[in-house]
Structure 1
Amino acid sequence: MALGRRGRDRTIDYWPGFVDALSTLLLVFIFLLSVFMITQFFLTQEMSGKDTVLQRLQSQIRQLTELLSLERAASQGAEGELSTLRASLAATEAERDRLRGQIATAPGAPDPSREQALSREVDMQRDAAARALSQVELLNQQIAALRRQMAALEEALNVSEKRDQESQAKIADLGRRLNVALAQRVQELSRFRSEFFGRLREILGNRPDVRIVGDRFVFQSEIFFDRGSATLRPEALAALDPLASAILELEKKIPPDINWALRVDGHTDNRPISTPQFPSNWELSAARAIAVVQYLIAKGVQPQHLIAAGFGEYQPLDSGTTDDALSRNRRIELKLTER
């Protein structure tokens, strides 16, 4: 009976490995998608700032255009008034000349007061014309200044648009390089994962209580813990010490710029537990994962390269209710992954 049970334990279940492989691909895709969304967020923020500057410059150009139109209208009005004054001055001078001719040909002495009145009127017309001419000159100067200001704003707008195009090109290039770097890091981590798994296979040999499911090493909980306990058994050290040595070797090989971690997952069967120490299987599975992590840290493994996770009874390998099925579900899993 024991030989038959051991034979069943050695049967490799490919379906969980396939599911884990798909999960890993999905996680990588989600990570790349998150990076893309972050890049798009910063691009949107920068583009929003650029749009605000462009809108402000365009608003200033519209205001200057309206002001220029008003100045042109005022200049045209002043020029019309100047033309009217010039015509009036010409008519007054003609009237003066005509009256002077009449006075010169009329008998008797000329009338000095009338001639002086005509001279004053002519002078007044000339002064009004001079003032109008001065106003037209001032308006022309203001129009020239507005045109220079509009030219400067248009140049600034062109420079801003050029910088915006350059920024978009740089961001697109950065995104491409980031994707290439991420792909390289994933390939490197996959290579080290393969080396690590090969090393663990050498260390563990063909133990019947240790299985490989997909990209994970699966240890039966009974190797490390008594039933309902999260305290490591003395017999567990024989399995954990070689594991710690393999992780220490891995830390020396993987470059520091690769964010990796060994995830230790605790799993239980679906039989409920309710003790003061472990109110549910969540606490029990998490406490067991933490106990393994703490022992590895005590052996010199860097804490930043370890993750402890508890899954309770909610990730079973076997949906059966037999003792063998429940035993398969009580396990500790090791998985090399990204942080």
Structure 2
Amino acid sequence: MFTGIRRSSRTVNVWPGYVDALSALLMVVIFVLLIFTLAQFLLRQVVSDQEFALDLLNNRLAEVSEALGLSEERAEALNAQVALFSEQLAEVTDERDSLAAARDRDQLRLLALDALIASQQETIAEEQELSQEARDQVAILNLQIAALRNQLQEVADALAAAERDKAEQAAEITDLGQRLNLALARQVNELERYRSEFFGRVKDALGDNPDVRVTGDRFVFQSELLFPSGSAELNSAGRAQLAELAGTLTQIAERIPDEIDWVLRIDGHTDPRPLPEGHRYASNWELSTARALSVVEFLVSRDLPPERLVAAGFGANRPAVAGDEAEAHRRNRRIEIKLTSP
């Protein structure tokens, strides 16, 4: 009995100790959970800020891409305009091509950067964390994008300068064209004035010959007046008629200023009837050309400048009147003389 009481007094109650240990362990777990929750919250905040920064970067890249697209349209418009200017705009064209090549290289670099940024975005989405290396790469990309912006601005400035140079060249060409047109108009007016004098003086010199008539802007001599039938040798009456004409033409030629470019064109025409077999000339074309050359050679022998004379043979290809009657044939056999520009 006594012994049992002593054993009972030595028994130790350990439950409070377990409770204290569990409480301490629970507090540690709660603390760890708080730390973990806080760390997750901070990590999510950092990831959210980084995603926001990446969205801004994507927006900037979109703006750069849009600006680059506008630069391409302007470059295409510039290419279409520069193509209109020949050798005088060669330097501007070369400069534009080099600038366009630089722009294309910059665009390729931007595409490569887009691919790199897309890869970084996928890595962040999968791991949901942002490493120091990724932040360094984003910083490098920002620097590269800033450098590309500067290069694009330089390209845009150079293109603008090239466009100004092209506009100046175009203005100079337009001015030269206007002055050339004015000069040509003055020459045409001057030539027209001397052509009127030519007509008046020649008509007076030829008199009222029925075999010589005025048709439009030329004098028409019937072939019978100048040549025997089927021949290209001038007859005596033709030589006398052309001698009077040559004297008048020489006086008019001396009065025309040197800056006015003019020629006296002699056209030979025949009727459509074929020449007999064995004839000296193989065709009416050869006969009409030979007759025109005979008139030119005679006028040269009368001191008309040879550089102002042109001989042309048309054969029967440009008849003055239609028809197969004898009168139509007679009128189509002719020599036409015209004062004109080369």
TM-score of Structure 1 vs Structure 2, range by shorter chain: 0.5 to 0.7
Q: Residue 291 of structure 2 corresponds to which residue in structure 1? A: 288
Q: TM-score under structure 2 normalisation? A: 0.61
Q: Residue 336 of structure 2 corresponds to which residue in structure 1? A: 333
Task: Return the alpha-carbon distance in structure 2 between the equivalents of residues 231 and 309 of structure 1.
Answer: 16
Task: Return the alpha-carbon distance in structure 1 between the equivalents of residues 156 and 87 of structure 2.
Answer: 21
- The answer to whether the Cα contact below 8 Å between 1:221 and 1:332 also exists between their aligned partners in 2 is yes
- Range with greater deviation from structure 2 (248-257 or 172-181): 172-181
Q: Residue 114 of structure 1 corresponds to which residue in structure 2? A: none
Among residues 188, 192, 199, which one is paired with 1:197 in the alignment? Answer: 199
Q: Residue 234 of structure 1 corresponds to which residue in structure 2? A: 236
- The answer to whether the Cα contact below 8 Å between 1:43 and 1:171 also exists between their aligned partners in 2 is no
Q: Alpha carbons of 1:248 and 1:67: their partners in 2 closer, same or farther (altered >3 Å)?
A: same
Runs of at least 5 residues in structure 1 that lack an aligned partner in the other structure: 1-39, 78-82, 86-131
Task: Return the alpha-carbon distance in structure 2 between the equivalents of residues 249 and 43 of structure 1.
Answer: 46
- Sequence identity percentage: 45
Q: Residue 301 of structure 2 corresponds to which residue in structure 1? A: 298
**Equivalent position amino acid for 1:63 in 2:** R
**Equivalent position amino acid for 1:250 in 2:** I
Q: Residue 179 of structure 1 corresponds to which residue in structure 2? A: 181
After superposition, where does 1:298-317 map in structure 2 within 5 Å?
298-317=301-320
RMSD of equivalent CA atoms: 3.7
Q: Residue 57 of structure 1 corresponds to which residue in structure 2? A: 99
Measure how far apart 1:226 and its partner are. 0.6
- The answer to whether the Cα contact below 8 Å between 1:268 and 1:331 also exists between their aligned partners in 2 is yes
Q: Residue 271 of structure 1 corresponds to which residue in structure 2? A: 273
- The answer to whether the Cα contact below 8 Å between 2:82 and 2:93 also exists between their aligned partners in 1 is no
Task: Return the alpha-carbon distance in structure 2 between the equivalents of residues 166 and 189 of structure 1.
Answer: 34
Q: Alpha carbons of 1:199 and 1:64: their partners in 2 closer, same or farther (altered >3 Å)?
A: same
Q: Residue 249 of structure 1 corresponds to which residue in structure 2? A: 251
SS in 2 for 1:43: coil
Q: TM-score under structure 1 normalisation? A: 0.62
Measure how far apart 1:154 and its partner are. 3.3
Runs of at least 5 residues in structure 2 that lack an aligned partner in the other structure: 1-80, 121-130
**Equivalent position amino acid for 1:59 in 2:** A
Task: Return the alpha-carbon distance in structure 2 between the equivalents of residues 321 and 136 of structure 1.
Answer: 95
Q: Residue 99 of structure 1 corresponds to which residue in structure 2? A: none
After superposition, where does 1:117-266 map in structure 2 within 5 Å?
150-266=152-268
- The answer to whether the Cα contact below 8 Å between 2:226 and 2:237 also exists between their aligned partners in 1 is yes
Q: Alpha carbons of 1:313 and 1:68: their partners in 2 closer, same or farther (altered >3 Å)?
A: closer
Q: Alpha carbons of 1:255 and 1:43: their partners in 2 closer, same or farther (altered >3 Å)?
A: farther
SS in 1 for 2:263: strand
**Equivalent position amino acid for 1:291 in 2:** S
Measure how far apart 1:138 and its partner are. 10
Task: Return the alpha-carbon distance in structure 1 between the equivalents of residues 271 and 111 of structure 2.
Answer: 84
Q: How many residue pairs get matched?
A: 249
Q: Alpha carbons of 1:145 and 1:288: their partners in 2 closer, same or farther (altered >3 Å)?
A: same
- Range with greater deviation from structure 2 (169-178 or 282-291): 169-178
Measure how far apart 1:144 and its partner are. 7.9
- The answer to whether the Cα contact below 8 Å between 2:89 and 2:166 also exists between their aligned partners in 1 is no
Measure how far apart 1:234 and its partner are. 2.4
Give deviations 1:74-104, integer Å, cap 9, x for gaps: 9xx9xxxxx949xxxxxxxxxxxxxxxxxxx
Larger radius of gyration: 2
Task: Return the alpha-carbon distance in structure 2 between the equivalents of residues 180 and 220 of structure 1.
Answer: 39
Task: Return the alpha-carbon distance in structure 1 between the equivalents of residues 89 and 165 of structure 2.
Answer: 14
